[in-house]
Structure 1
Amino acid sequence: MVPVLTYPALLAAPIDIGREQARREAAAELLRSEYAKESLVDRVMRAVNQFLGDLLDQESVGVVGSVAARIVLAMIVVAAVVAVVMIAHRTVRGGTTRKEGIFGDRRRTAAEHRETAERLAAEGRWAEAVRERLRALARDLEDRVIVDSTPGRTADELAAEAGRALPEFAAELAAAARVFDDVTYGEVPGTAEAYGVLRDLDERLRTARPTLGAMTGTVSS
């Protein structure tokens, strides 16, 4: 007769879960919705704690092995903390970076911006020279009523509006806006070549005239 395993017997029976099965169950637990709300720092630290627990949970580790393990653990913890701090710093910077208007607080004429740009270029301060040259270009377009005088306008917005009025320059204006954003927000170093492109575009735009169709389309939009 086959013995029947009663409910009390089930309670008394030991539960033997292998390490691999435990890992799978832990992974399934992490898929629950409450874990989705964890921050990056929390997830990294929890993973480090799990790794440390697995490393220390070795019955065969002797005294020498235990000391070596603790040294390795300390190095891992330090590396993890440094990595978390760096990632958090980049995340904060990336989340708070916001494009500002292309002009400063004080209103300057196009001629003043050009003069400042040339002086900065002569000093090899290319990023600042690029910014001033685009400001000169923008102010000139405003003074000639090719674009509206809009406070806080970004380089991209300037390029889009001016490109509609001067479609033959649209691609160059968009490229100039990217150069301005790169040296202003992207930490890309300015170069003499980049400044030369902005200066050439500024000079050609000074004599450019919008076509009637482009101006009509701008007004209607």
Structure 2
Amino acid sequence: MLGTGGATAALLAGANDDVPVDTPRDPAREAAERELSRPMYHENDPNLLERALDRFWEWVDSLFGAASSGTPGGLIGLVAVILVVVALAAALWWRLGKPQRAVRTSSDSIFEDGPRSASAHRTAADKHAAAERWNQAVQERMRAIVRSLEERTLLDARPGRTADEAAAEAGRPLPHHADELRAAARIFDDVTYGGRTADRQAYERLRDLDLALESTKPLSVTAAEGAAE
């Protein structure tokens, strides 16, 4: 027979074997983190690039979702707006040419090499036109126009003159051709500096202007000054 004290001790001993030991919260969390950090639990996790792509597409999806909810017509309306913006950008690119040449300086001379006669420039232009090299044909024909005006002393032979400057100066003694001179300079600039491609029509326009100027009598200095006023 056990005494009361012995029975109580036995009950307490049994209770200690059956009741689990409580672990404090912080050590338990740390133990779980250590366990989950083992490589065996992360063998199939996405790599850094995959996670970055997932975040990117989630951002794109949320962006389109927000835009479509605020655009009349929902997603279809958003697509229509995007197509319009792309079309406008393409039109601006076609009209303005390459951005890096959009800004020109006064150092862009119409003549790249040494002095040549108007006749030499015309011959070169005709050769390029016969081979359908319209860009070079346009450039040489514009140089022929300016050199011819210099040879006729309607323009002073000034190095470094641009096509725009030549057109503006020649338009004073030749006012009836001022608009065509400016148009010719614009075609030359678009081809030479703007990345545009010339065609037969553009070349023939400059050729016709060259022929017309040859047979045009300029105004006198006094008449030219009066027309400018």
Question: Which of the five TM-score ranges fits, normalised by the shorter chain?
Answer: 0.5 to 0.7
User: How far off is 1:105 after superposition?
Assistant: 2.0
**What's the CA shift string for 1:4-54, capped at 9, x where partnerless?**
xxxxxxxxxxxxxxxxxxxxxxxxxxxxxxxxxxxxxxxxxxxxxxxxxxx
User: 2: distance between equivalents of 1:172 and 1:95?
Assistant: 22
Alpha-carbon distance, 1:207 to partner: 1.3
In structure 2, the partner of 1:162 is 170
Give the equivalent residue in structure 2 for 1:138: 146
Are 1:166 and 1:214, in contact at CA under 8 Å, matched by a contact in 2? no
Deviation for aligned residue 1:213: 5.3
Q: Which residue of 2 aligns with 1:200?
A: 208
CA contact (8 A) 1:164 1:214 kept: no
| In 1, Cα distance between equivalents of 2:156 and 2:223 | 12
2:157 paired with 1:149: yes
Alignment size in residue pairs: 144
Shift of 1:94: 4.8
What letter is aligned with 1:160?
A: A
TM-score, normalising length from structure 2? 0.55
8 A Cα contact 1:110 1:135, kept in partner: yes
User: For residues 1-221 of structure 1, what are the structure 2 equivalents within 5 Å?
Assistant: 69-72=51-54, 93-94=100-101, 97-98=104-105, 100-212=108-220, 217=225
Moved over 3 A (4+): 66-69, 72-76, 94-99, 213-216
Shift of 1:139: 0.5
> Deviation at 1:125?
0.5
What is the distance in 2 between the residues matched to 1:67 and 1:139?
62
State the alpha-carbon separation in 2 of the partners of residues 96 and 197 from structure 1. 25
Q: Which amino acid aligns with 1:177?
A: A
Structure-2 change in CA distance of 1:208 and 1:101 (3 Å): same
**Does the 8 Å CA contact 2:101/2:193 hold for their aligned counterparts?**
no
CA RMSD in angstroms, aligned pairs only: 3.0
The one-letter code sitting in structure 1 at the alignment partner of 2:121 is H
Q: CA deviation at 1:71?
A: 1.9
Distance 1:67 1:131 in 2: 52
Q: Which runs of 5+ in 2 are unaligned?
A: 1-44, 60-97
Q: Distance in 2 between matches of 1:165 and 1:129?
A: 26
Task: Give the letter for the 1:209 counterpart.
Answer: K
Q: Any idea what SS the aligned residue of 2:111 has? A: coil
The one-letter amino acid of 2:194's match is: G
Identical amino acids, percent of aligned pairs = 43
Q: Distance in 2 between matches of 1:118 and 1:131?
A: 11
Contact map agreement 2:101 2:194 (CA 8 A) in 1: no
Consecutive unaligned residues of structure 1, counting only runs of 5 or more, are 1-62, 77-89
Please give the secondary structure, in 2, of the residue aligned with 1:165: coil
Q: In structure 2, how many angstroms separate the alpha carbons of the residues matched to 1:128 and 1:107?
A: 17
Q: Deviations over 1:85-128 (max 9, x none)?
A: xxxxx87x358754611012211000000000000001111001
**Contact 2:102/2:194 (CA < 8 Å) preserved in 1?**
no
Give the whole-Å Cα distance in 1 for the aligned partners of 2:51 and 2:140: 58
- Secondary structure (helix, strand or coil) at the match of 1:164 reads coil
- After TM superposition, the score normalised by the length of structure 1 is 0.57
Secondary structure of 1:190's partner? coil
- Structure 1 residues 207 and 101: CA distance shift in structure 2, 3 A: same
